[in-house]
Amino acid sequence: MKKGKIAGMMVTLVYKAHYGREPERAGYHVFMNERGLSMKRRPRVLGYILAAALMSAVLVPGCAAEETKEIPEEQKEYADSSSQAKDVQTWSARIYYVDDQTGDVTGKNVDVQDENDIWTALQENGILTEECRLLDFQVNESEKTIDLDFSSEVGDRIRSMGTAGETQIIGCLVNTYLEAYSCDGIRLTEEGETLETSHGGSMDGYSGMMTF
């Protein structure tokens, strides 16, 4: 048996007797070199590689998941609605209505965004009832005319008034929309048909601003 091997065994026995375990299990390697018997800790390169691999397995999927995370549908819808809201313009329209105290037609300015807001303002000021519905609204900018179609509830309300009441309701509708859209004429129809009044008159063709 070679002296180096015997010496190595002796070192191992002494280390084990002193520390209670073999040097190899403690991470040391016993060997002979030109200087004699040496004992060196084993390299930990493999341990470093395994640690790096584990960290990559934990961090990389997390990063990938973060990059591919989808925006919730609610957030998309909110973003779309917010973008559309920025494109809508608000302006001041003069709403004509009948004063409850004097019985005369008067007007006031209301902030609106479209023809439906004007319709709602007419309802809130007593010209139209909640059952009255706006069915269609078309503006011809080149001709400066408006085609406005409403439900039968509007026609019934107009015909339920006397001659003066009919004139006031129709006049408030006509003047409000003509001024709001800077047009010269408006045609009122009841569910696509010519509006007939209670005294046998008809609103055929386009009407201009009315006086009371």
Q: What predicted TM-score, i.e. pTM, was given to this entire model?
A: 0.60
- In a 3-state reduction of DSSP, which class is residue 181? coil
Residue 140 has what pLDDT?
Answer: 98
Q: Give the pLDDT band (50/70/90) at residue 88.
A: confident
pLDDT at 198 (0 to 100): 83
Share of the chain above pLDDT 90, in %: 53
89-118 pLDDT per residue, tens: 999 999 999 999 999 999 999 999 999 999
Length of the chain: 212
Task: Specify the higher pLDDT residue, 44 or 89.
Answer: 89
Mean pLDDT over the full length of the chain: 78
- Residue 65: the pLDDT is 47
Q: Please give the Cα distance from 9 to 24 (Å, whole number).
A: 12
Buried b / exposed e over 77-103, threshold 16 CB at 10 Å, is: eeeeeeeeeeeeeeeebebbbbeeeee
Question: Strands 36-41 and 91-98: what pairing?
Answer: unpaired
pLDDT of residue 212: 84
Q: Domain coordinates of the chain in residue numbers?
A: 3-67, 91-203
pLDDT at residue 151 in the model: 98
Query: In this model, does residue 16 exceed pLDDT 70?
Result: no
pLDDT at 19 exceeding the cut of 80: no
**Burial of 72: CB neighbours in 10 Å, binned 0-12, 13-18, 19+:** exposed
Higher pLDDT, 22 or 193: 193
